[in-house]
Each structure stands twice: as C-alpha cells, then as structure tokens.
Amino acid sequence: MNFFEHQDNARRNSRWLILVFILAVAAIVVAVNLVILVALGFFSFDAETASVPFSEVVRQNIPLLAGSAVVSVAFILVASLFKMLGLRAGGGQVARQLGGTLVDSTTRDPLKRRLCNVVEEIALASGVPVPEIYVLDQEAGINAFAAGYTPADAAVAVTRGALEKLDRNELQGVVAHEFSHILNGDMRINIRLMGALFGILMLALIGRRVLIHSHMFGRSSRDRNGGVIILIAFGLMAVGYIGLFFGRWIKAAVSRQREYLADASAVQFTRDPDSIGGALKKIAVYGNSSYLNVDTEEVSHMLFGDGRKMIMFSTHPKLEDRIRRVDPGFTNEELTRLAVKLNREETRAREQAKEQAAKKAEKDTGAGSGMFTAESILAGIGTPDWERMLTAAAFAAAIPEVMTRAVHSGEWAAEVLFYTLLDKDGSAVEEQLLAVARNMGAESESKVRTLLEEAGPALPEQRLPLMELAFPVVKQRPPENLEKVLRTVKELAEADGWTDVFEFLLARSLQGLIWDSQNPHRAQVVGNRKLASVQKDVVTVLNVLAVHGHADPETSQAALY
C-alpha cells in the first residue's frame, strides 16, 4: 500500500474542501444582501407610476448593504466563536459526556490493561504525550474516537465492544488511527467547522423567530415596512437552512477525507495493513456494529466508524471503500469467510490474540539499545514503525513493578518525575531531596526517597519513558500544584550546578504541557514562524545534537567545529 500517496491525496482534498466551505460562507453573506435588495426593490415603488429601477435601489442602499455584510460576517463569527469556546474544555469532557469512564492506570481488567499498554506503546513510539484513556462501557459497537484541541489535552476513548471483539493487532490499528487524528490536527479543523455551521444555523433560527413574531403581531405586516421585514426574515431562514444543508455536506466530505488520511497514517504507524483492515472488516461482518446508543450528531466526525445510520451527511466513507484503500486485493467473499470463522472460533481467536500479544512484548527485549538517542527520536517522531513499537513495549515491560505502579498513580506520578532527576553519583541527592521537601512537603520527599530505595537510581534508558508515562497523570493536578511541581523540577535540575539534556527537556516539556493543558484553545500543533527568524536557536539545537549524538567524546567535540 502506498500510504504516503493516500496521505497526500487526503490532505489535498481536505484543503480544497475547506476552501469550498469558506466560499460557501461568503456566498451566504452575498445571499443575505440579495434578500435585502429584493425586499427593498419589491416594496420600493410608486403606486401611480412605475417601480424604482433595481439599479437605483442598489445605489441608494449601498451603505445599508455594506453594513448588512459586516453584520452577517460578524454574527457568524461570534456565534461560531461561542460554539468553539464551548468545545474547548479538552477531550476528556467529550468522552465523559458520551458516557465514558476514565481507565485507572492500575486496573486489573485484562481488556483495559491491554488497551492501556497499546496506547502507551504507540505514544512512546510516536513521541507524543500519552493521552487520557476512556472506555464507553455501555456501548457494544466497535468504535473509538480521539478528542481535544492539541496532543496535550487529548483523550482516546474506545467502546467495550471494540475491546471484546478486536484482537490486539486490530485494536492497535484503531488506536493508531485515532493517534493520527491527534497528530494531523483533525480535531481543531472539525471544531472550527462545527462552529461555522452553528453560526449559519443561527441565521436560520433568527429568521424563523422573526416570522413567528410577525405572525403573532400580524398587524405590523400590513404596512410596507412590515412586509419588508417579513420578506427579509423569510429570506434569512431560507438562506440559513440552505447554507446549513450544503455546510453539513461539505463538513461530511472533509471528515471523509480526514478518515482516509487517518487510515493511511495508521498503516504507516503499524506497518501492518491487516491491523486496521481487520477492524474495518469486523465492523462490516457484525452488520455495521459501529453504531452507538448515545446521540452522536456533534461528534460523528470524531468516531472511528459511523455512530448512527446516515445517508446524506455520512462523515465516514463506505466500509468497503476504506477496506480497499488499505487492502487493494479485498473481495466481498472475505467477509463471508470471516463471518463463518468468527461464529465458529471467536473464543479461541481471543485466546490466540492474547498469546501473540505476550510473545510480541517479550520479543527482542534487548533491542532497545540506543532507541532514545537524539538521532532516533528525531527520525521517529510521529512515524513509528512496527520495530519501534515492539521496542517501546520492551522498554515499558522493563520498568520495575514499583515504578510502574507509581508512574500510573495520581499520588506518586510527580514524585516519579523528581526521581528521574536525582543525581547519578549521589553527591547532590540530599540537597535535591531537601528541595523536594521545601517545595512539595515532607510526604513528597519521603515518596521520592522510597522510590530511590526500592528501584535504585534511574537508568538512562528509563528516564524518558517514565517522563512520558507520568505526564498524563501529573497534568490532572490543580494549576497551583502544577506550578509547584514545575518549580521543584527546575530546582532539582540546577542542584548540581549544571543542566544536562534530559533535565532541560523535562523542565521545558512540563512547562509546555502545563500551558497547553490550561490553554488548549490557544495552543498550536504546528508553528508558523520561519527558520530565518530563529537562526540562533537552531544553531544551538544543532550544537547540542552534535555533542550528544555520538558515543565517542572526541567525535562529539569535533562535530562542533
């Protein structure tokens, strides 16, 4: 499968469709002005002679038409902004509104434990923060979604049906699909489209409200001015609903293209078309089993599959088309064979999937050497292959049990971050522990000391995975507590008189995570500055990479010159 070509096509089509959407909004503004012109031209006449020429009506009312255009645009923008502000609270709120429950990172439920492992593996392999994880326990359909403005406030939710009916590979394909939505910024695009649609809908609702008001007070419509108002109100309602129709159609088309992009990205992540292809085939075999019980009108574009049966405004391509995109050799006979196999061996298939997952987690446990070097991180951010995902799984499995429990605990996650910053040779450890006690209290200092005694000093290859796993738990703390955590991290990093690369990375990443999680509507996934404007910073980064990118100290120093 040429998934890079599919990604380019989907992005290109999305850009064209978004441009069409903007033009549609502009056409609505023009249509509103035409309604006003028609109303004025129809009622501006001399009863004894002839009507005033239409061009004369336009000339006489240019200021009114200009004001109408400004008011229409402003109204749509304000209504859209109001809607978008209501959706900015983060992906977790969306998941909870749909009945999702936050998965406890210490859960012993084997299906939820498998989901946590898959999400954490893909997050570590792709170089993005681990999102919050939710399960829709009341939903038997196979579905999932990702929500949030940015990776910092994202959440991934999976239905109970997906956990029970998909094997590990297929679940990995679905989660990779949702991660691609996060990385490609699809949530921000869809939220803006939802806001624009709401603004258009408000035009129609205002027109309808004016008509109802005129009907209740019918005498006001007997004079000429009343007739103009009624005609304008009727025109607004018609333009609004027609615009809403085409707006929803364009939004659904944009969503379908982003689904193709997410499918192609999932194949890129896993390097296994059968993972996401198998999940799509099971949805088809179970009879469109992606449908949900809750109302999915506003979040339909976020789902892995259709949330309900739709004909005109379906936000997802046909299942057969999606399957053929990832598996060009697919035929409908495969669904028949799969249905027979599932009916006969469903229980056995689940057991085999668990065994295969365990084997993959154990394979190449020593293959992670050097994975988290500067060169490998830069090459793999956002594009993890299957080998990196296996290596990430091996790293996660190599973390001591005491650290695994602590990093997933809301009471201990911050202390895990402090633990990763403790001095290697022990000369500054006591000073660092005093800093923890001074900023966070004696209990926090005792927890850090316990982690050090139980697990020993943090190994270099474990520091980055521990940081990534701790972030989604730490960010749930109150803002004032997060500021204390950040201040403590900075003091620990500076305790020995110099700051290494990991210490700098942890402090800056935590600072960025705090800001993004508290200001998701203002955070940007991709910047818009030019390299020339940050030339000094680029040179500094390249120097750091030159020094730390080689195992040989002499080669590292030579790289500076």
Mind telling me the catalytic residues?
178
Going by C-alpha positions, the residue among 74, 475, 14 that lies closest to residue 253 is: 14
Residue 16, beta-bridge partner list: none
Sheet holding 144-147, edge to edge: 101-102, 132-136, 155-159, 144-147
Angle 144-325-359 from CA coordinates, rounded to 5°: 60
- Token pair for 41: 């031209």
CA distances from residue 333 to 46, 329, 338 in whole angstroms, order as listed: 74, 11, 9
Determine the longest span between alpha carbons in the chain, in angstroms: 103
d(CA 541, CA 115): 36
Could you tell me what percentage of the chain is helix, strand and coil, using 3-state DSSP and rounding each to the nearest 5? 70, 5, 25
Phi and psi torsions of 159, nearest 5°: -80, 160
Q: Between β-strands 132-136 and 155-159, what pairing exists: parallel, antiparallel or unpaired? A: parallel
d(CA 471, CA 473): 5
Helix orientation angle between 442-455 and 413-420, rounded to the nearest 10 degrees: 60
- Token pair for 514: 């705090």
d(CA 286, CA 305): 13
Phi-psi bin for 499: left (phi > 0), alpha (psi -120 to 50), beta? beta
Question: Coil, helix or strand for 133?
Answer: strand
CB distance 291 to 309 below 8 Å:
yes
